[in-house]
């Protein structure tokens, strides 16, 4: 299979069919990857080295944090960045307020949820030699929720 240039729309839905996000991806270079036919190279690259359970909700990422160390204006489901003692920043979502602590969830908001990706191919053509040679750049698409 030869390399192609593909433009497509991608719509992300939850398992109830509700639209979460959509995006237009233009001029994405797709390669044949040994053992992975018919899949975009960016998607294939993103799936490499994953292990069973990746993307699942991890209860170890739910923490209790002292309420006194958080802004008083913080609300339920709001996001907050916490800096660890080692200087690592992590994003958390407020789950529940307790008397002296707040339950914070460090999991991605979509972790553990079934997601449906609808792909609508708008254009597909054979890639030129120049496009293949210049494909060292990583093509990334951001889907916001």
Q: Which two tokens stand for residue 96?
A: 């529940």
Question: Tens digit of pLDDT for each residue in 46-82?
Answer: 556 666 656 788 999 999 999 999 999 999 999 999 9
Q: What is the DSSP letter of 45?
A: H
* Closest residue by Cα to residue 7 from 28, 21, 22, 38: 28
> In the structure, how many helices (H) and strands (E) does the chain have?
2, 7
Global pTM value? 0.58
Q: Please give the Cα distance from 109 to 61 (Å, whole number).
A: 12
* Closest residue by Cα to residue 111 from 60, 45, 38: 60
Q: What is the pLDDT of residue 115?
A: 86
Percentage of the chain surpassing pLDDT 70?
70
* Closest residue by Cα to residue 143 from 14, 34, 23: 23
Q: What is the pLDDT of residue 42?
A: 55
Q: How does the average pLDDT of the chain come out, rounded?
A: 78
Tell me the domains of the chain and their CATH numbers.
4-48+113-133 (no CATH), 59-105 (2.40.10.330)
Residue identified by tokens 């990746």 is 54
Per-residue pLDDT at 39 exceeds 60: no
Q: Which residues, in sequence order, are CB contacts of 41 under 8 Å at separation 6+?
A: 29, 30, 31, 33
43: phi then psi, degrees, rounded to nearest 5: -65, -45
Alpha-carbon distances of 120 from 19, 22, 27, 37, rounded to whole Å:
15, 11, 14, 18
Q: Please give the Cα distance from 32 to 47 (Å, whole number).
A: 15
Q: Which two tokens stand for residue 57?
A: 């909700």
Alpha-carbon distances of 104 from 25, 39, 54, 58, 100, rounded to whole Å:
34, 36, 20, 12, 13
Q: What is the pLDDT of residue 109?
A: 83
């Amino acid at each position: 299979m030869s390399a192609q240039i593909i433009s497509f729309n991608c719509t992300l839905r939850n398992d109830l069919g509700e639209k979460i996000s959509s995006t237009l991806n233009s001029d994405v270079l797709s390669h044949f990857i040994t053992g992975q036919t018919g899949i975009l190279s960016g998607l294939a690259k993103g799936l490499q080295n994953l292990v069973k359970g990746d993307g699942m909700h991890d209860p170890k990422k739910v923490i209790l944090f002292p309420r006194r160390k958080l802004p008083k204006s913080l609300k339920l489901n709001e996001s907050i960045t916490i800096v660890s003692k080692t200087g690592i920043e992590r994003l958390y979502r407020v789950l529940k307020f307790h008397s002296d602590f707040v339950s914070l969830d460090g999991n991605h908001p979509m972790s553990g949820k079934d997601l449906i990706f609808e792909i609508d191919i708008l254009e597909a053509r054979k890639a030129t030699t120049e496009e293949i040679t210049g494909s060292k750049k990583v093509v990334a698409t951001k889907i916001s929720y």
